[in-house]
Amino acid sequence: MSETQTVIAPSAIYIDADACPVKDEIYRVALRFKAPVFVVANSFIRVPADPFIKSVIVEAGPDLADDWIAERATPRDVVVTADIPLADRCLKAGAQVLHPTGKIFDQNMIGAALGQRALMEHLRSTGDITSGPKPFSAQDRSKFLSVLDAAMHKAKRR
């Protein structure tokens, strides 16, 4: 590399880790891109022994893991979460935000997602809805891998 070339720091991946079913997939992609990974939770989660992968344990409490991620997310980063309010905060910071099923959160859909979340919370609280989301599938895992790879390429170009 010549002295005039700029070295671009790798994008970071932040994982809202408590219930994330795709951590192993994220580790594989991150290591290929040599991108740091922050596995954020309010309890211990085992991570591979690798200098690029860091476990971050925040105090127990509502939204403390979300706060840690949202305060650090930048336009060059990728955030993986199923938490819609956290997705909204990270989008406002300019980060790319992915759901573990491979859905891409973006500015065009986050308002509707927040509204639907509020409606579903209300329906659950009244007992009108008692079931949760559909089970995570192999198709979800495959779609997530594809979307994460594309997000990392995009982040690298930013």
What is the C-alpha separation between 66 and 155, in angstroms, rounded?
Answer: 21
User: In CATH terms, is domain 13-157 a member of 3.60.70?
Assistant: no
pLDDT for the residue numbered 113: 65
Provide mean pLDDT across the span 50-75.
Answer: 94
Higher pLDDT, 86 or 115: 86
* Residue boundaries of the structural domains of the chain: 13-157
pLDDT for the residue numbered 116: 67
